[in-house]
C-alpha cells in the first residue's frame, strides 16, 4: 500500500481539483486506487472532501483527528485551564508524518506569506505547517491550488507551467493534473 498524506484548508471546496490531484498522485506513484491509502486529519473542508472523494474512487482512508481537548507534558504552563489545546493540530501533523507516506498533497487557500494586514488565523497556517514538516521529513510534497485560488497571478502561473514542463507534468482541466507545484515557500 502506498500512503498518500494530505493536508488542507478548512475553506477548501474545489471537489474537481481534489479528485484530479488524487488521480494524478496515483499516476505519479504508479499505483491503482486499491493500492493506495489517503491519510488525512479528519478536519472540515479539504480533509473531509478528499476523504469522500477517495472513498468514491475506492481508495482506503485513515483519519487522524486532532485531540483538541488534550494537553500534554510538552504544553506550556499558560495552556493550563484552556479548553482547546493550540498545539493539538501540530501534534496530529507530527503523528501523521511520523507514520510515513510516499507523497504529501497540500491544499492551501492562502499563500505561504501573508498579504499586507492579513491575519494568520484563517490563512492555511496549519496546511503550510504540515506541508513544511512533510517536506523536511523527505516526503515529496505537492502544493495544489484551486483554479480560482492561485494567489500569485498570471506571472506566477506561467512560472508553474514552465516548471511543470521541465518535470514532464501536464497541467490542465478535469482528468489532467491540476495546477500543482513541487514545494517552494514563496
Residues that bind Zn ion (CB under 5 A): 71, 75, 79, 85, 87
Report the nearest approach of Zn ion to the CB of residue 94 (Å). 14
The cell numbers describing 173, all together, are 482541466
Report the nearest approach of Zn ion to the CB of residue 92 (Å). 12
Say which DSSP state 120 is in. G
Q: Which is nearer to Zn ion, 88 or 103 (CB)?
A: 88
E strand or H helix that includes residue 98: helix 88-98
Q: Which is nearer to Zn ion, 15 or 75 (CB)?
A: 75
DSSP secondary structure string for all residues of 26-93: HHHHT--GGGEEEEE---TTHHHHHHHHHHHTT-EEEE----TT---TTS-GGGTT-SS-TTHHHHHH
Report the nearest approach of Zn ion to the CB of residue 85 (Å). 3
Report the nearest approach of Zn ion to the CB of residue 142 (Å). 31
Q: Which is nearer to Zn ion, 26 or 88 (CB)?
A: 88
Q: Which is nearer to Zn ion, 82 or 165 (CB)?
A: 82
Say which DSSP state 122 is in. G
Amino acid at each position: 500500500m502506498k500512503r498518500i498524506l494530505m493536508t488542507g484548508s478548512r475553506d477548501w471546496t474545489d471537489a474537481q481539483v481534489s479528485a484530479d490531484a488524487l488521480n494524478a498522485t496515483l499516476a505519479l506513484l504508479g499505483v491503482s486506487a486499491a493500492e493506495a491509502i489517503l491519510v488525512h486529519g479528519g478536519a472540515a473542508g479539504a480533509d473531509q472532501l478528499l476523504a469522500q472523494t477517495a472513498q468514491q474512487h475506492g481508495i482506503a482512508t485513515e483519519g487522524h483527528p486532532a485531540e483538541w481537548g488534550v494537553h500534554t507534558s510538552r504544553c506550556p504552563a499558560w495552556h493550563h485551564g484552556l479548553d482547546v489545546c493550540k498545539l493539538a493540530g501540530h501534534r496530529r501533523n507530527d503523528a501523521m508524518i511520523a507514520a510515513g507516506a510516499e507523497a504529501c498533497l497540500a491544499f492551501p487557500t492562502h499563500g505561504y506569506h501573508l498579504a499586507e494586514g492579513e491575519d494568520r488565523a484563517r490563512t492555511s497556517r496549519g496546511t503550510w505547517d504540515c506541508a513544511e514538516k512533510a517536506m523536511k521529513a523527505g516526503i515529496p510534497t505537492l502544493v495544489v491550488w484551486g483554479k480560482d485560488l492561485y494567489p500569485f497571478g498570471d506571472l506566477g502561473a506561467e512560472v508553474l507551467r514552465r516548471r511543470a514542463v521541465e518535470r514532464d507534468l501536464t497541467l490542465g482541466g478535469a482528468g489532467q493534473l491540476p495546477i500543482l507545484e513541487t514545494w517552494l515557500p514563496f
